[in-house]
């Protein structure tokens, strides 16, 4: 008699040539739509911040009378919620599609989603009721309502469940396919969630042991210096957590979209490994002006910062070579004409290429920031938002917009409402962000501060005034671009009638020859932890002072009096 086969988890899947499986549609759809909703709330405030800070307008921001409430909503919704939901949804899609199997625990994926979603609701509540004006870095001694911190905790806890689910899915796949090459996109995703999970331990300690207790009134005092160190333990790798999915799209999807092939798969994996290992031990470069950290530790983190520039330069070379092939396939014969012989009419491709161009500018200004001496001149000026809008709102967000232009139609089961509008959108965004970077960057060099309600400032360096006024052009273009983006989103969801025609840009013919030792996650994790100990251990020894530290009262920024006097 034949024995009944035990039911195995992680059944292998076959996908329709066009469109999604129902399970994908719900899970990926829930994450992407939540991400876009967070973006909708956050993005529209950006242009109004520009208008408020320009001496010509000094316009008050609609709905919000308190500038820092709007600024916190902008930073938190865009940088923390839009990115995390988008990345999780995209990563599920990438892993399930590339490994052609179900997630280890689809139910856990939903538990994680609801944890993150309730987190979002709590944070939205605290923000909109004017009780969490602590900016997206939530530095104490500014203290928010507890719901803000509980919401962030649920976001992080949910993301840890995602890491578990992704790694277990990979492990089951590896057991069934011991000698096959892991698709690069999955490799990058696992590297990303490894670095995220290690990094988020810092912010978890800060929130659980320092901020929630003060906010709840359980303890009176806090220590801004230690909190900042814990935040930047997390805060710098966070930017790589945003960037790696964009790299995943450039390395593994853009070749298919442009009809090219990847230039070097092993080089790409090396870039991801270096990013994973070195992104945490560099966070002190955000604390160059902090008195409590020694210049030796600042120096060590500077050196590591320059090390993490290397994988981005490798990426520039690798992706450049891939694009050159694409251009040559389109008939380019000269030295540089392959650059314009790309399919610039396709908004999905254009969004990514234009994002890359902004990233070149953002990368250079990043190298400038990493230099201790220059950083002292630029710290807390509008140069910094100029820099990270080229990287985060440029490379990352433009790539995510490009991904949205193929993924959202798949989720909805209808074609994108208008490719032409999408093309206008990516160009207005590109030009707008370019002008934003130029005007805010120059104003920063001229001493204009960031995170300041300039509309209420009694004095601004007259030399900077024309630059701040010029930034209005950026604000207008970016407002138009945001409206065009959401026109297409709502149009595709509710009004598009055309049938879906494009396939998912997942390369199913994995041709990697990368050695299998590259997948030694335990080894990479071990090296990461060692480096972290070496680079952060002394910083914490310097900053944590139980005798004289922890003596600052928390206060609410909107009513600047101590909360537990």
Q: Which stretch binds ligand HEM (CB under 6 A): 47-55, 149-157, 525-533, 550-558?
A: 47-55
Residue whose C-alpha is closest to residue 226's, from 557, 562, 551: 551
Least spacing, CB of residue 446 vs Cu ion, in Å: 23
Least spacing, CB of residue 521 vs ligand HEM, in Å: 29
Q: Toward Cu ion, which CB reaches closer, 162 or 276?
A: 276
Helix residue spans in 143-284 (DSSP H) = 146-176, 184-205, 212-216, 224-248, 254-258, 265-278
Residue in 10, 89, 385, 409 binding ligand HEM, rule: CB under 6 A: 385
Known active-site residue 509: no
Known active-site residue 68: no
Question: DSSP character for 370?
Answer: T
Q: Toward ligand HEM, which CB reaches closer, 397 or 543?
A: 397
Site for Cu ion in 232-291 (CB under 5 A): 236
Which run of H or of E encompasses 411? Answer: helix 397-412
Q: Toward Cu ion, which CB reaches closer, 154 or 370?
A: 370
Question: DSSP character for 494?
Answer: H
Residue 237 contacts ligand HEM per CB under 6 A: no
Least spacing, CB of residue 456 vs ligand HEM, in Å: 12
Per-residue exposure over 171-187, b if at least 16 CB sit within 10 Å of its own CB, e if not: ebbeeeeeeebbbbbbb
Helix residue spans in 44-78 (DSSP H) = 45-53, 67-75
Least spacing, CB of residue 430 vs ligand HEM, in Å: 12
The Cα–Cα gap between 283 and 232 comes to 5
The residue at minimum Cβ distance from ligand HEM is 46
Helix residue spans in 83-105 (DSSP H) = 83-99
Half-sphere exposure of 448 (CA within 13 A, CB side): 30
CB 351 within 8 A of CB 404: no
Known active-site residue 221: no
Known active-site residue 240: yes
Roughly what angle, to the nearest 10 degrees, separates helices 397-412 and 83-99? 60
Residues 6+ apart with CB under 8 A from 308: 240, 274, 275, 278, 279, 282
Residue 46 contacts ligand HEM per CB under 6 A: yes
Query: Residue 385 binds what, of ligand HEM, Cu ion, none (CB under 5 to 8 Å, by partner type)?
Result: ligand HEM
SS3 label, residue 340: coil
The neighbour count for residue 222, using CB atoms within 10 Å, is: 26
* Phi, psi dihedral angles at 44 (to 5 degrees): -65, -25
Q: Which stretch binds ligand HEM (CB under 6 A): 41-49, 103-111, 409-417, 542-550?
A: 41-49
Q: Which stretch binds Cu ion (CB under 5 A): 97-105, 231-239, 397-405, 500-508?
A: 231-239
Per-residue x/- mask for ligand HEM, residues 315 to 344, rule CB under 6 A? ------------------------------
Least spacing, CB of residue 236 vs Cu ion, in Å: 4
Residue 402 contacts ligand HEM per CB under 6 A: no
The Cα–Cα gap between 443 and 518 comes to 45
Residue 298 contacts Cu ion per CB under 5 A: no
Q: Toward Cu ion, which CB reaches closer, 74 or 236?
A: 236
SS3 label, residue 252: helix
Residue in 21, 40, 135, 267 binding ligand HEM, rule: CB under 6 A: 135
Residue 74 contacts ligand HEM per CB under 6 A: yes
Q: Toward ligand HEM, which CB reaches closer, 94 or 478?
A: 478
Residue 450 contacts ligand HEM per CB under 6 A: yes
Known active-site residue 450: yes
Roughly what angle, to the nearest 10 degrees, separates helices 419-445 and 465-494? 160
Q: Toward Cu ion, which CB reaches closer, 31 or 236?
A: 236
- What pairing do the DSSP bridges indicate for beta strands 552-553 and 559-562? unpaired
* Phi, psi dihedral angles at 158 (to 5 degrees): -60, -40
Known active-site residue 420: no
Known active-site residue 74: no
Size of the site for ligand HEM (CB under 6 A): 25
Residue 409 contacts ligand HEM per CB under 6 A: no
Residues 6+ apart with CB under 8 A from 419: 346, 347
* Catalytic residue (one of 325, 434, 450, 556): 450
Known catalytic residues are: 236, 240, 387-389, 450-451
Give the footprint of ligand HEM on this chain (CB under 6 A). 43, 46-47, 49-50, 71, 74-75, 78-79, 82, 135-136, 385, 389, 392-393, 397, 436, 450-452, 475, 478, 482
Give the footprint of Cu ion on this chain (CB under 5 A). 236
């Amino acid at each position: 008699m034949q024995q009944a086969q035990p039911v195995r988890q992680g059944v292998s899947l076959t996908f329709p040539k066009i469109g999604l499986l129902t399970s994908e549609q719900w899970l990926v759809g829930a994450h992407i739509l939540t991400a876009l909703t967070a973006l909708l709330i956050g993005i529209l405030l950006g242009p109004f911040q520009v208008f408020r800070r320009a001496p010509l307008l000094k316009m008050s921001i609609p709905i919000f009378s308190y500038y820092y409430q709007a600024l916190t909503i902008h930073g938190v919704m865009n940088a923390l919620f839009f990115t995390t939901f988008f990345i999780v949804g995209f990563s599920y899609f990438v892993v399930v599609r590339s490994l052609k199997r179900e997630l280890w625990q689809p139910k856990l994926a939903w538990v994680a989603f609801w944890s993150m979603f309730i987190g979002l609701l709590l944070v939205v509540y605290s923000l909109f009721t004017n009780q969490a004006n602590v900016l997206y870095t939530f530095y104490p001694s500014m203290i928010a309502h507890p719901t803000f911190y509980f919401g962030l905790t649920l976001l992080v806890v949910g993301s840890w469940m995602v890491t578990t689910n992704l790694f277990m899915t990979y492990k089951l796949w590896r057991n069934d396919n011991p000698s096959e090459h892991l698709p690069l996109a999955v490799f990058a995703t696992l590297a990303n969630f490894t670095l995220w999970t290690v990094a988020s331990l810092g912010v978890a300690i800060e929130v659980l042991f320092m901020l929630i207790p003060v906010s709840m009134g359980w303890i009176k005092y806090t220590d801004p210096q230690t909190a900042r160190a814990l935040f930047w333990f997390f805060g710098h790798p966070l930017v790589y957590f945003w960037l790696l999915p964009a790299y995943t799209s450039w390395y593994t999807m853009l070749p298919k979209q442009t009809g090219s092939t990847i230039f070097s798969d092993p080089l790409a994996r090396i870039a991801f490994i270096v990013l994973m290992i070195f992104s945490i031990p560099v966070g002190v470069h955000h604390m160059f002006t902090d008195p409590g950290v020694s210049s030796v530790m600042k120096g060590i983190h500077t050196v590591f910062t320059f090390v993490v520039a290397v994988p981005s330069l490798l990426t520039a070379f690798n992706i450049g070579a891939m694009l050159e092939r694409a251009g040559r396939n389109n008939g380019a014969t000269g030295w540089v004409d392959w650059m314009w012989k790309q399919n610039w009419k396709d908004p999905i491709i254009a969004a990514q290429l234009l994002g890359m161009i902004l990233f070149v500018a953002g990368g250079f200004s990043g190298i400038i920031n990493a230099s201790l001496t220059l950083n002292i001149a630029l710290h807390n000026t509008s140069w910094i938002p100029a820099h990270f809008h080229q990287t985060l709102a440029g490379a990352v967000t433009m790539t995510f917009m490009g991904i949205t232009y193929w993924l959202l139609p798949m989720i909805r089961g209808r074609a994108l409402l208008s490719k032409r509008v999408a093309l206008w959108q990516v160009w207005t965004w590109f030009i707008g962000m370019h002008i934003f970077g130029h005007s805010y960057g120059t104003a920063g060099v001229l001493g204009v501060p960031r995170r300041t309600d300039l509309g209420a400032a009694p004095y601004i360096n007259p030399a900077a005034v024309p630059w701040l006024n010029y930034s209005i052009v950026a604000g207008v273009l970016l407002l138009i671009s945001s409206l065009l983006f959401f026109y297409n989103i709502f149009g595709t969801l509710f009004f598009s009638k055309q049938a879906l025609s494009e396939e998912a840009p997942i390369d199913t013919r994995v041709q990697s020859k990368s050695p299998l030792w590259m997948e030694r996650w335990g080894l990479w994790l071990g090296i990461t932890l060692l480096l972290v100990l070496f680079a952060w251990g002394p910083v914490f020894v310097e900053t944590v002072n139980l005798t004289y530290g922890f003596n600052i009262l928390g206060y609410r920024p909107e009513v600047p009096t101590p909360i537990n006097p």
